[in-house]
Amino acid sequence: MSRTPLPTKPCARCGRTITWRKAWQRDWDSVRWCSDNCRKHGLTQVDLQLQDTLESLLAEGADSASVDPTEVARAVGGAGWEKLLEPARSAARRLVAAGRAEITQGGRVIDPDHAKGTIRVRRPR
């Protein structure tokens, strides 16, 4: 028996995929966050700044260039950049979900939901 795939959408903060659940059948349209953690944190000015910075770095580089999220965290966070590393990776996932970037590891495009370790971000090809 084949089933229609469940609807999905990206989390508004971390960009990870949210898959429809029965608990949401009445308010699926208003679901924005994948977890309590994302809901509590929300999408802050810093998150948006990280996303803008990443997009500028992608736009400045050559077509083939890729960006390390660490550069983005450093550009926005200064001395406190390490706190922004995970938010910078979330910004990258949001861009992937919007079709404006790809995340790669070892030069290969990977599924951002399961990215572990060092990643790079590039424009979609």
Chain positions contacting Zn ion, by CB under 5 A: 11, 13-14, 34, 38
Work out how close the CB of 119 gets to Zn ion at its nearest, in angstroms, rounded to a whole number.
17
Token pair of 60 as six digits: 């400045």
* Residue 125 CB, nearest approach to Zn ion (Å): 26
Nearest residue to Zn ion on Cβ basis: 11
For residue 122, which of 55, 58, 36 has the smallest C-alpha distance? 58
| Sheet of strand 102-105, all strands in order from the earlier edge strand to the far edge | 66-67, 120-122, 102-105, 108-109
Kindly tell me which of 101 and 123 has the beta carbon lying closer to Zn ion. Answer: 101
Q: Which is nearer to Zn ion, 16 or 120 (CB)?
A: 16
Strands 102-105 and 66-67: unpaired
Residue closer to Zn ion by CB (options 34, 84) is 34
